Amino acid sequence: MDRSNRTSSMVEFILLGLSTHPRLEKTFFVLILLMYLVILLGNGVLILVTILDSRLHTPMYFFLGNLSFLDICYTTSSVPLVLDGFLTPRKTISFSACAVQMFLSFTMAGTECVLLSMMAFDRYVAICNPLRYTMVMSKAAYVPMAASSWAIGGAASVLR
Protein backbone atom coordinates (compact mmCIF):
# COMPACT_ATOMS: atom_id res chain seq x y z
CA MET A 1 0.00 0.00 0.00
CA ASP A 2 1.64 3.22 -1.21
CA ARG A 3 0.73 6.28 0.77
CA SER A 4 2.22 9.40 -0.66
CA ASN A 5 1.98 12.78 0.94
CA ARG A 6 -0.68 14.60 -1.06
CA THR A 7 -0.59 18.11 0.31
CA SER A 8 -1.30 21.12 -1.78
CA SER A 9 0.07 24.57 -1.15
CA MET A 10 -2.34 27.32 -0.20
CA VAL A 11 -2.48 29.81 -3.06
CA GLU A 12 -5.50 31.99 -2.32
CA PHE A 13 -8.55 32.36 -0.12
CA ILE A 14 -12.12 32.68 -1.35
CA LEU A 15 -13.94 35.68 0.11
CA LEU A 16 -17.62 34.98 0.54
CA GLY A 17 -18.66 38.49 1.51
CA LEU A 18 -22.27 39.27 0.75
CA SER A 19 -22.69 36.69 -1.97
CA THR A 20 -26.17 35.72 -0.75
CA HIS A 21 -27.37 39.29 -1.43
CA PRO A 22 -25.63 40.44 -4.62
CA ARG A 23 -28.09 43.30 -5.20
CA LEU A 24 -26.98 44.99 -1.99
CA GLU A 25 -23.32 45.04 -2.98
CA LYS A 26 -23.57 48.34 -4.90
CA THR A 27 -25.35 49.97 -1.96
CA PHE A 28 -22.74 48.70 0.50
CA PHE A 29 -19.99 49.84 -1.86
CA VAL A 30 -21.33 53.40 -1.85
CA LEU A 31 -21.85 53.44 1.92
CA ILE A 32 -18.40 52.07 2.71
CA LEU A 33 -16.78 54.38 0.16
CA LEU A 34 -18.49 57.39 1.74
CA MET A 35 -17.38 56.33 5.22
CA TYR A 36 -13.83 55.79 3.96
CA LEU A 37 -13.75 59.24 2.36
CA VAL A 38 -15.05 60.82 5.59
CA ILE A 39 -12.29 59.03 7.52
CA LEU A 40 -9.65 60.26 5.09
CA LEU A 41 -11.01 63.80 5.01
CA GLY A 42 -11.55 64.13 8.76
CA ASN A 43 -8.19 62.74 9.78
CA GLY A 44 -6.42 64.61 6.99
CA VAL A 45 -7.94 67.91 8.12
CA LEU A 46 -6.96 67.21 11.73
CA ILE A 47 -3.36 66.50 10.69
CA LEU A 48 -3.24 69.59 8.49
CA VAL A 49 -4.67 71.88 11.16
CA THR A 50 -2.24 70.65 13.81
CA ILE A 51 0.66 71.25 11.44
CA LEU A 52 -0.42 74.70 10.26
CA ASP A 53 -1.60 76.23 13.55
CA SER A 54 1.42 77.00 15.74
CA ARG A 55 -0.75 77.17 18.88
CA LEU A 56 -1.41 73.43 18.47
CA HIS A 57 2.25 72.44 18.53
CA THR A 58 1.87 70.71 21.88
CA PRO A 59 2.40 67.07 22.85
CA MET A 60 -1.34 66.37 23.01
CA TYR A 61 -1.96 67.51 19.44
CA PHE A 62 1.22 65.82 18.24
CA PHE A 63 -0.14 62.53 19.59
CA LEU A 64 -3.57 63.25 18.09
CA GLY A 65 -1.92 63.83 14.72
CA ASN A 66 -0.13 60.50 15.06
CA LEU A 67 -3.41 58.82 16.00
CA SER A 68 -5.10 60.36 12.96
CA PHE A 69 -2.34 59.16 10.67
CA LEU A 70 -2.59 55.73 12.27
CA ASP A 71 -6.33 55.68 11.60
CA ILE A 72 -5.72 56.53 7.94
CA CYS A 73 -3.16 53.72 7.68
CA TYR A 74 -5.42 51.26 9.49
CA THR A 75 -8.42 51.83 7.24
CA THR A 76 -6.31 51.99 4.09
CA SER A 77 -4.88 48.56 4.86
CA SER A 78 -8.28 46.86 4.54
CA VAL A 79 -11.03 49.05 3.05
CA PRO A 80 -9.73 49.17 -0.57
CA LEU A 81 -9.80 45.36 -0.73
CA VAL A 82 -13.36 45.36 0.60
CA LEU A 83 -14.39 47.94 -2.00
CA ASP A 84 -12.69 45.93 -4.73
CA GLY A 85 -14.58 42.85 -3.60
CA PHE A 86 -17.89 44.62 -4.11
CA LEU A 87 -17.12 45.55 -7.72
CA THR A 88 -15.23 42.62 -9.18
CA PRO A 89 -16.67 39.17 -9.78
CA ARG A 90 -13.42 37.54 -8.63
CA LYS A 91 -13.75 37.21 -4.86
CA THR A 92 -10.34 35.91 -3.84
CA ILE A 93 -7.26 37.14 -2.03
CA SER A 94 -3.83 35.63 -2.44
CA PHE A 95 -2.09 34.08 0.51
CA SER A 96 0.69 36.69 0.44
CA ALA A 97 -1.79 39.59 0.21
CA CYS A 98 -3.69 38.13 3.17
CA ALA A 99 -0.44 37.82 5.14
CA VAL A 100 0.53 41.42 4.36
CA GLN A 101 -2.93 42.68 5.33
CA MET A 102 -2.81 40.69 8.57
CA PHE A 103 0.68 42.02 9.35
CA LEU A 104 -0.47 45.60 8.75
CA SER A 105 -3.57 45.12 10.89
CA PHE A 106 -1.50 43.68 13.76
CA THR A 107 1.04 46.49 13.40
CA MET A 108 -1.60 49.19 13.47
CA ALA A 109 -3.45 47.60 16.40
CA GLY A 110 -0.26 47.27 18.45
CA THR A 111 0.79 50.81 17.59
CA GLU A 112 -2.62 52.13 18.57
CA CYS A 113 -2.47 50.44 21.97
CA VAL A 114 0.98 51.83 22.75
CA LEU A 115 0.15 55.27 21.34
CA LEU A 116 -3.00 55.51 23.45
CA SER A 117 -0.98 54.62 26.54
CA MET A 118 1.52 57.37 25.65
CA MET A 119 -1.38 59.80 25.28
CA ALA A 120 -2.70 58.71 28.68
CA PHE A 121 0.73 59.34 30.22
CA ASP A 122 0.78 62.81 28.62
CA ARG A 123 -2.61 63.65 30.16
CA TYR A 124 -1.55 62.17 33.51
CA VAL A 125 1.50 64.43 33.65
CA ALA A 126 -0.56 67.45 32.55
CA ILE A 127 -3.17 66.88 35.27
CA CYS A 128 -1.09 65.55 38.16
CA ASN A 129 2.12 67.55 37.65
CA PRO A 130 1.13 70.73 35.80
CA LEU A 131 4.16 72.71 36.96
CA ARG A 132 6.59 70.08 35.69
CA TYR A 133 4.63 69.32 32.49
CA THR A 134 6.80 71.35 30.10
CA MET A 135 9.95 69.82 31.54
CA VAL A 136 8.69 66.21 31.46
CA MET A 137 6.91 66.41 28.09
CA SER A 138 9.51 68.28 26.09
CA LYS A 139 9.95 67.71 22.38
CA ALA A 140 12.97 65.57 23.20
CA ALA A 141 10.63 63.28 25.14
CA TYR A 142 7.39 63.08 23.15
CA VAL A 143 8.85 62.60 19.66
CA PRO A 144 10.79 59.46 20.70
CA MET A 145 7.70 58.28 22.58
CA ALA A 146 5.64 58.42 19.37
CA ALA A 147 8.41 56.85 17.30
CA SER A 148 8.79 54.04 19.81
CA SER A 149 5.05 53.36 19.71
CA TRP A 150 5.33 52.77 15.95
CA ALA A 151 8.43 50.61 16.43
CA ILE A 152 6.85 48.56 19.23
CA GLY A 153 3.70 48.01 17.16
CA GLY A 154 5.75 46.77 14.22
CA ALA A 155 7.96 44.56 16.37
CA ALA A 156 4.98 43.05 18.17
CA SER A 157 3.32 42.15 14.88
CA VAL A 158 6.47 40.41 13.66
CA LEU A 159 6.48 38.27 16.81
CA ARG A 160 2.88 37.10 16.35
Please, where are the H alpha helices in the chain?
Answer: 25-52, 59-76, 79-87, 95-128, 133-136, 139-159
Q: What is the DSSP string of 58-95?
A: SHHHHHHHHHHHHHHHHHHTTHHHHHHHHH-S--EEEH
Task: Evaluate whether residue 43 is within a structural domain.
Answer: yes
Residue 147 sits in which domain range?
Answer: 23-159
pLDDT of residue 157: 86
Kindly state the DSSP code that residue 23 receives in the 8-state scheme: G
What pLDDT score was predicted for residue 47?
A: 97
Q: What is the pLDDT of residue 6?
A: 61
In a domain, 100, yes or no: yes
Whether 45 maps to a domain, the answer reads: yes
Averages of pLDDT over each 10 residues, the chain, 160 residues: 60 71 82 96 97 94 96 93 82 85 93 96 95 94 95 87
As for how many domains the chain has, the answer is 1
Question: Is residue 120 situated within a structural domain?
Answer: yes
Q: What is the CATH number of the domain that holds 145?
A: 1.20.1070.10
In a domain, residue 128? The reply is yes
